[in-house]
Amino acid sequence: MVYMNYIDQLTKNENTYQRNNLNLIASENYPSPNTLKLLGSIWNDKYAEGYPRKRYYAGNVNTDDLESFVQSKALEIFDNTGEYGVNVQPLSGSSANAIVYMTVLDYGDTVLSLDLSSGGHLSHLHETSSYSKFFKYANYNLLSKKNGYLIDMDDYVYKLKANKPRIVIIGFSSYPKKYEFSQMCKIAHEHGALVLADISHISGLVAVGQHDTPFNSGPEGADFVVTTTHKTLRGPRSAMIFAKKEYMPALNHAVFPGTMGGPHLNQIASLGQALLEVSGEEQYPDKLSFSDYIEMVIKNTKSLETGLVESGASIVAPTQNHLCLIELSDNIDSLEMQNNLEKMGIITNRNSIPNEKKSPWRPSGLRLGAAALTSRGLMPNQARELGVAIGSILNNTVSNRVVNEFVTDLSSSLKWYY
């Protein structure tokens, strides 16, 4: 008998769990085996406080080349202007946003961001944020239109005038529509604000031109761009901060020694592999170009939403990106529904919706995303069938047994690279 310790057993269990369930978490994905391999590589052993060619430890000849290469690859993919630099050391998106605050904000400055229930993010400041001890915050909102909720540009301008924020955050975690960075950046700059674009969810779309970019020259470009690397970019759990070059010295100082010690070189190496797959110099196991992959993510999301609507589910706004947002009927408890779906092998997350009337723990919506299952080879017809199954569960028109069989058949038909 082969001995397996508890952590080994849990790891094996998790592998089986992920393979046999259908992951619709919009903020998760499946990196390539080569990307994952580097997270457990020899790079984990290095300590490299500082930056390339300016380290506080000896022995970083290869480390310097690695970090410089990943920086250049990130700029090659995202920046067409030549006006930006990048720091690839941040460990997560929330801490990356905080680093930008530390770079440019003084005590008492105001941050303007989208309201949390309308699709903003916890790290963009809100009433329970620890940063509210130091900074003020205000929110702009969405406007209900015939084709769903859209950014209320009149409210955006009004809040800029009324609050005079030092920095405006453009970027969201549960907003299914496209939006124009250039327009919103220009308006913010006209009102004396700096702009932080958080593209954590849509960075894969931005990288291949499937969404408007914040990397623009002059006032139409964001001053800072933050992205995680594990969502639609399909890399490791880490983050990058881009900034106009005039802000890079202050930003680098805010990263080290301001808020971090030695960078995690295994994450940086893994990120480099993912970026090579984005650029086409390396390939994901399915052999699709990254552009084709993102195009399929969008098709699958729309097909998933089509199936939901066909089976009677309500949508907050028709999707234009990698995620869709369901508005549950008042009699459905979102926590119970999330747990019920998980028991049937469908992994989702409950989520607030615009003008939320319920609590954050039991909000009125469910958020679904197609990036992870697309990495496993999901096709639009399968995505539509999955949407029909979920909508039927919401409306109690199908038995759990039928859905369990559907999930088993679909998950077993999808690719698994681990």
Strands 54-55 and 50-51, sheet pairing: antiparallel
Residue 16 Cα to chain centre, angstroms: 25
The closest alpha carbon to 305, from 321, 283, 289, 286, belongs to 321
Would you give the DSSP letter of residue 259?
A: I
Place of tokens 């300590």: 47
Q: Is 248 exposed, middle or buried (0-12, 13-18, 19+ CB in 10 A)?
A: middle
Distance between CA atoms of 251 and 43, rounded to whole angstroms? 24
Strand partners of residue 244: 84
Distance between CA atoms of 104 and 110, rounded to whole angstroms? 11
In the chain, % helix, strand, coil (3-state, to 5) comes to 45, 15, 40
The closest alpha carbon to 52, from 38, 62, 42, 41, belongs to 62
3-state secondary structure of 261: coil
Would you give the DSSP letter of residue 349?
A: E
Distance between CA atoms of 382 and 160, rounded to whole angstroms? 44
**Cβ count near 409 (within 10 Å):** 9
Place of tokens 């327009």: 183
Please list the active-site residues: 47, 49, 198, 228, 231, 237
Positive or negative: CA dihedral 141, 145, 150, 154: negative
